[in-house]
Amino acid sequence: MEKLQELINREREARELRRREADWNYINSLPPRIRVAIKLFIETGNLRLSQKISGLGLEEFVEHLRRANVWVT
């Protein structure tokens, strides 16, 4: 139970970190699909779902995340 709570806390902290450190100027400059996908990733941390929505390959999507200062954790 304790481990589960720790994992839930990690998820929450990771989401806060993503929200806080994101470069919103960069994100808002992107085409709609990629912008939506990055916002989804910020909120959920679900890399593959976000990548599919972006319509990009995984590596290309992760590159956008890097440029947007959004960390994959």
Partner 1 sequence: MEAIADASFLIDWARFSLRDLLFRLFRVVWIPEDMLSEIQSESTLMWVAEHLASGDMSLFPTLPEYRDRALRLVELSRRGPTRGLDFPEAYCIAVAEDRGYVVLSENGAAYAAQFLYTTAKVWRAYEVLWELRSKGVVPDDVIFTYQGETKHKFPQGDLQKWRSYRS
- What distance lies between CA 25 and its chain's CA centroid? 15
Residues 3-32 that bind partner 1 (CB under 8 A): 3-4, 7-8, 10-11, 13-14, 17, 21
What's the token pair of residue 39?
């916002």
Please report how close the Cβ of residue 16 comes to partner 1 at its closest, in angstroms: 10
Over its C-alpha atoms, the chain yields an Rg (Å, rounded) of 13
* Nearer residue to partner 1 within complex by CB, 17 or 36: 17
What's the token pair of residue 55?
């319509």
What residue type is 35 in one-letter code?
R
Applying CB under 8 A, the residues found at the interface with partner 1 are: 3-4, 7-8, 10-11, 13-14, 17, 21, 44-49, 57-60, 62, 66, 71-73
